[in-house]
Structure 1
Amino acid sequence: MKNIFTLVAFLLLLGSCGSQNNTVITKAEVTTQVTSDSDTTSRTKLVVGIVVDQMRYDYLTRFDAKYGNGGFKRLISEGFNCKNNHFNYVPTYTGPGHTSIYTGTTPKYHGIIGNNFYDKEIKTMVYCAQDDNVASVGTSDAAGKMSPHRMQTTTFGDENRLFTQMQGKTIGVSLKDRGAILPAGHTANAAYWFHGKEEGAWISSSFYMEDLPQWVKDFNASEYAQSYLKVWNTLYDISTYTESGTDLNNFEGGFKGKETATFPYDLKTLSETNRGFDILKATPYGNSLTTDFAIAAVKAENLGQDNITDVLAVSYSATDYVGHNFGVNSKEIEDTYIRLDKDLERFFNYLDETVGKGEYTVFLTADHGAVDVPSYLQSVNVPAGYVDNYARKETFNKFLTETYGTTDLVENVSNDQIFVDRAKVKSLGLNLIDVQNEIAMEQLTYPNISKVYTATALSSAGFSEGIEALLQNGYNQKRSGDVILVNDPAFIAYGKTGSTHGSALNYDTHVPLLFFGNGIKQGETLKKTVIPDIAPTISALLGISFPNGATGSVLGFVID
């Protein structure tokens, strides 16, 4: 007991001496100091999210021999490669894809069920980023009337802004408005997208700002966009492009004003009949322009220049436009990825110089894949084809008239969904579930429809695997339709040239997922990962709250 009293006396004396010298350090102060020191040495200065629009996983392996060591190969050799990464929902479109990557959940929760979708409340089609309550900034065109207001959950960029008391910046950059806006989130400092036509300018909306920053005005006044209106030829000798099909074939679209979809393309001349600067979007130079602008944003906004984490969301959209136009097996798509690889190397080299090697974190993925051109698949005896929506509509309207006496029972058919007019169902004294089931059974008899599900089934049953589980993850009770249709594999509602996407098949769901930089291990895995895992993983790396609707898991094996 005497020893205890002696110890207490000693501590009191020590405290008294400390007080006289003003050197007492409280526990709270010690904790604060340790946390601060830890943050300055381990917290990443900049997170760069890269989404390559319409990038199938096999583009990493197919074109590997043509890539340099500083782009895709650097991400793989120095970072972590999730080789079996998939979307776990449908539809696999750009708007839902970008949203799911950054929110860590699926359309079931974040609400972006398509690029364009039917709004059951106002009874009309809406665009996922459309907002008539804001004004265009940087153009008089309506192309700037956009915001993320239809996205119902937060992104990891939002959570980082909240965590840092709005000190960490978030900026979105993409040729496409939705590719910039949805990843940047609700609290972003800015989102910028490219308005082509006769302007060729990067623009924004009053959701973020009243006027473009001077650096964006200076960029638009420069010759960057103009400089890419030049001849597009293959970077290397076209005879070495053995990883893609023949240059002249029947499966590609091409540009107005050029008889064949073959190299070279005089973009300056062709721009006159292809919406001016918009032609750049369907060439690899659209990605180069995006890289130029992203680098300008890092420099002008001082991203990654302090110990408060910033977020830069970059989406490369040109790959999607090229794929839609020329198809996944074209020389054009191969050249586009070879050139994107060099743009990535240029971007990473700039980040090394300005932010510092090991001071920033990158992830690279895609918003969806794409199907081989069905007409090409048919030519090599793979089951594939085209959906005749006009014939379906005619047959379906006949069914509605004969069964219910009117076609007004259906409000809308879009995105492989049928929306029933519930007021009409009630006025006719019908049972909604019976109507859903009868429509589903009718649709199942149509050519090239493989499966049909009702809203009731998707809302009540629990599916854990297969296409059914993906449909359920993409089904939003407030926004999705009453009957969901699934086409046969490789059957699409599209033209006979070029590729598209949207299904639950592997060609649309299997996309790259690469992590690189600060806090990331080196390695690879064949374990299945899914798109909603990305945001929780980045959140865990940063030590911030997960996006509020996140359903994905932390990929702990990628974090160092």
Structure 2
Amino acid sequence: MQKKIQLLLVVLGFIIVGTLNTHGQKKQKDNEAADLKTSPKLVVGIVVDQMRYDYLTRFWNHYGEGGFKRLVKDGFNCKNNHFNYAPTSTGPGHTSVYTGSTPAAHGVIGNNWYDKDQGESVYCASDDNYASVGTTSDAGKMSPHRMNVTTITDELRLHTQMRGKTIAVALKDRGAVLPGGHTANAAYWFQGADEGNWITSSYYMKQLPKWVNEFNSSDAVEKYKIPWNTAKPINSYIESGIDNNSYEGLFETETTPTFPHSTPNILNKKKDFDILKYTPYGNTITTNFALAALDGENLGMDSETDFLAISYSSTDYIGHKFGVNSKEIQDTYIRLDADLQLLLNTLDRKVGKEEYIIFLTADHGAIDVPAYLSSQKIPAGYFEYDEISPKLDEFLKYKFGTTNIIKNFSNYQFFLDHKVIKNLDIDLAQAQEIIANELLNYKGIDRAYTGRQMIQNNYTDGIPYILQNGYNQKRSGDVLIVLKPGVISYPKTGSTHGSPQIYDTHVPLLFYGKGIPKGSTSVRTEIPDIAPTISSLLGISFPNGTTGKPITEVLD
């Protein structure tokens, strides 16, 4: 009897252990499935046009707790984030963020570039095959057709069988069209002129939705045709230069570039709405329209992940006009911080505090005004192609017997006429090298590389690496030049960008929201890493031209 009881207890033990093991294995499998991805209701991609990384740190004490500080403190901060290609400009920047690749793969090699097949300059988002929607002008004739690969927004749409929505919003057409990808439900941009309306292209729809028409017919834009004064006492803006200086541009009728900015065109509520782009109100209008899209499109309201792409363009317009050291730039970022707080608070309320993911980055950085740098005894200056052109023409006539060997100069690239070179019975690589070597003798030029070098070599760091990532074999030129650090081709007032130098490549990268750990890293990250990181978080395919790598610290 006792042996039977012992045997029964052993059998029961095996059954209990087996049951526990089965339960444990099921729980482990459930956990593993949960670890495969995070499932936010909404992803919000934010690109701040022309935002240098040091705008985070420089203006930190002026920011509130609910905007930039919230993203940094409660999210993940990549402190050493860089563009790994040039030219560093808006079209390539937005495309690279969303495709996880560089111009070498995605093909958007500039805002505009010389098309070797057409023999003329083309714009990165223009497309005459489509009509404007919401305006009688040509401002809506746009599409993403020049972008050769898919975007993170495309892959999310494909993953959800097109049930997840993608809406892209920006003052600039290219800031909306390129992030929206090939499959966006809509991309909207701002038509200033004497209209002040949000418009789109027939690529997306035949007519504007009701909510857009309602926004356009309201006073949502006109009410910002008001004087621009500082949000805080101007004497507290000690992180920027003096207000009245010779390094900044002027609005019409102004005699000094000083606050308050209150000119006739700024105040006129019936015309010149383009001027709002050059004030921080352009960013606020963008935020308000993005929030209208949140409601109008019911984003983040169901189980399918939606995507809202927002690009803040006014930061770029203001940087170009006033420069990175201006009171205007400081005030713009203080006001943008308030816009971000409004955006985050609204997402908390309407989508759910733990139900969305945000990433924030920039499409390029910017240089301080060279004239100002020179006044501080820092090497800097200006490059004018017209100044070197006569000397270069003289050299070309001497060496090749003609100046027709060069067809175009743009984006710091020389495009050669291959037919002329062939007729002269000259090897193309040799012609490239001869011209590159000559250009090294000219003032302001630091380096010169040939297309043959870009194609044949495998650069892994430094300036050549950056140039090679920006070099598209079908679209790029024959000879590439790099200006000296601190040297730009631009007017004497305001800042610009486009170079492979570090002031143009170092930009913020913040991740925040569902599934994002708190923390930071000083390990180098690169712009093409953003899309595969978001893809990994969502458990979807990488964009099909991806060259970046997921940022493991964000995924851990």
Please give the alpha-carbon distance, in whole angstroms, between the structure 2 residues aligned to 1:148 and 1:274.
32
Contact 2:413 2:478 in 1 (8 A): yes
Query: Would the alpha carbon gap of residues 489 and 39 (structure 1) be closer, same or farther in structure 2, given more than 3 Å must change?
Result: closer
**Matching residue within 168, 188, 195 for 1:172:** 168
* Alignment correspondent of 1:184: 180
* Alignment correspondent of 1:163: 159
Please give the alpha-carbon distance, in whole angstroms, between the structure 2 residues aligned to 1:343 and 1:140.
31
Deviates more, 1:389-398 or 1:140-149: 389-398
- Count of paired positions: 530
Query: Would the alpha carbon gap of residues 370 and 41 (structure 1) be closer, same or farther in structure 2, given more than 3 Å must change?
Result: closer
Partner-residue secondary structure (3-state), 1:251? coil
Partner-residue secondary structure (3-state), 1:480? coil
**Matching residue within 354, 358, 373 for 1:358:** 354
**Matching residue within 54, 63, 71 for 2:50:** 54
Please give the alpha-carbon distance, in whole angstroms, between the structure 2 residues aligned to 1:199 and 1:489.
41
Please give the alpha-carbon distance, in whole angstroms, between the structure 2 residues aligned to 1:65 and 1:259.
32
**Matching residue within 430, 437, 444 for 1:434:** 430
Please give the alpha-carbon distance, in whole angstroms, between the structure 2 residues aligned to 1:523 and 1:362.
15
Per the TM alignment, residue 38 of structure 1 is displaced from its structure 2 partner at its CA by 5.5
Please give the alpha-carbon distance, in whole angstroms, between the structure 1 residues aligned to 2:266 and 2:350.
38
* Alignment correspondent of 1:293: 289
Please give the alpha-carbon distance, in whole angstroms, between the structure 2 residues aligned to 1:401 and 1:337.
51
Deviations 1:1-45 (A, max 9, x none): xxxxxxxxxxxxxxxxxxxxxxxxxxxxx99x979x959994111
Aligned partner letter, 2:448: V
Please tell me whether residue 331 in structure 1 is matched to residue 327 in structure 2. yes
Aligned residues: CA RMSD: 1.9
**Matching residue within 444, 450, 455 for 2:446:** 450
* Alignment correspondent of 1:149: 145
Aligned partner letter, 2:415: F
Partner-residue secondary structure (3-state), 1:158? helix
Contact 1:39 1:307 in 2 (8 A): no
Per the TM alignment, residue 559 of structure 1 is displaced from its structure 2 partner at its CA by 2.3
* Alignment correspondent of 1:382: 378
Please give the alpha-carbon distance, in whole angstroms, between the structure 2 residues aligned to 1:168 and 1:243.
43
Per the TM alignment, residue 271 of structure 1 is displaced from its structure 2 partner at its CA by 5.9
Please tell me whether residue 319 in structure 1 is matched to residue 315 in structure 2. yes
**Matching residue within 511, 534, 537 for 2:507:** 511
* Alignment correspondent of 1:484: 480
**Matching residue within 450, 454, 459 for 2:455:** 459
Query: Would the alpha carbon gap of residues 43 and 387 (structure 1) be closer, same or farther in structure 2, given more than 3 Å must change?
Result: same
* Alignment correspondent of 2:243: 247
Please give the alpha-carbon distance, in whole angstroms, between the structure 1 residues aligned to 2:178 and 2:30.
36
**Matching residue within 468, 475, 500 for 2:471:** 475
Please tell me whether residue 102 in structure 1 is matched to residue 98 in structure 2. yes
* Alignment correspondent of 2:83: 87
Aligned partner letter, 1:442: E
Unaligned runs of 5+ in 2: 1-25
**Matching residue within 258, 261, 266 for 1:265:** 261
Please give the alpha-carbon distance, in whole angstroms, between the structure 1 residues aligned to 2:194 and 2:81.
39
Query: Would the alpha carbon gap of residues 55 and 274 (structure 1) be closer, same or farther in structure 2, given more than 3 Å must change?
Result: farther
**Matching residue within 417, 421, 424 for 1:421:** 417
* Alignment correspondent of 1:17: none
Deviations 1:367-423 (A, max 9, x none): 000000000000000000000211111211121122222211111011100001111
Deviations 1:497-534 (A, max 9, x none): 00000111111000000000011000011111000000
Unaligned runs of 5+ in 1: 1-29
Please give the alpha-carbon distance, in whole angstroms, between the structure 2 residues aligned to 1:143 and 1:393.
34
Contact 1:232 1:267 in 2 (8 A): no
Contact 1:230 1:267 in 2 (8 A): no
Aligned partner letter, 1:415: N
* Alignment correspondent of 2:65: 69
**Matching residue within 477, 494, 498 for 2:494:** 498
Per the TM alignment, residue 274 of structure 1 is displaced from its structure 2 partner at its CA by 12
Contact 1:192 1:202 in 2 (8 A): yes
**Matching residue within 398, 401, 404 for 2:400:** 404
Partner-residue secondary structure (3-state), 1:439? helix
Per the TM alignment, residue 270 of structure 1 is displaced from its structure 2 partner at its CA by 3.8
* Alignment correspondent of 1:22: none
Aligned partner letter, 1:346: L
Partner-residue secondary structure (3-state), 2:449? strand
Contact 1:534 1:554 in 2 (8 A): yes
Pairing of 1:131-146 with structure 2 (within 5 A): 131-146=127-142
Contact 2:169 2:187 in 1 (8 A): yes
Please, what TM-score do these two structures have when normalized by structure 2? 0.93
Contact 1:256 1:273 in 2 (8 A): no
Partner-residue secondary structure (3-state), 1:193? strand
Please give the alpha-carbon distance, in whole angstroms, between the structure 2 residues aligned to 1:430 and 1:463.
27
* Alignment correspondent of 1:16: none
Contact 2:226 2:266 in 1 (8 A): no
Deviations 1:259-291 (A, max 9, x none): 111000125544669970001001100000000
Partner-residue secondary structure (3-state), 2:221? helix
Deviates more, 1:412-421 or 1:41-50: 41-50
Partner-residue secondary structure (3-state), 1:429? coil
Please give the alpha-carbon distance, in whole angstroms, between the structure 1 residues aligned to 2:271 and 2:363.
25
Please give the alpha-carbon distance, in whole angstroms, between the structure 1 residues aligned to 2:245 and 2:410.
32
Aligned partner letter, 1:240: S
Contact 1:40 1:307 in 2 (8 A): no
Contact 1:257 1:270 in 2 (8 A): no
**Matching residue within 539, 548, 552 for 1:552:** 548
Contact 2:253 2:263 in 1 (8 A): no
**Matching residue within 265, 274, 278 for 1:278:** 274
Please give the alpha-carbon distance, in whole angstroms, between the structure 1 residues aligned to 2:396 and 2:138.
38
Please tell me whether residue 542 in structure 1 is matched to residue 538 in structure 2. yes
Please give the alpha-carbon distance, in whole angstroms, between the structure 2 residues aligned to 1:274 and 1:529.
46
The alignment-based identity, stated in percent, is 59
Please give the alpha-carbon distance, in whole angstroms, between the structure 2 residues aligned to 1:132 and 1:54.
29
Contact 2:80 2:522 in 1 (8 A): yes
Please give the alpha-carbon distance, in whole angstroms, between the structure 1 residues aligned to 2:420 and 2:270.
44
Deviates more, 1:535-544 or 1:385-394: 385-394
Aligned partner letter, 1:376: Y
Contact 1:137 1:211 in 2 (8 A): yes
Partner-residue secondary structure (3-state), 1:450? strand
Partner-residue secondary structure (3-state), 1:489? coil
* Alignment correspondent of 1:115: 111
Q: Deviation above 2 Å: which 4+ runs of structure 1?
A: 37-42, 267-275
Please, what TM-score do these two structures have when normalized by structure 1? 0.92
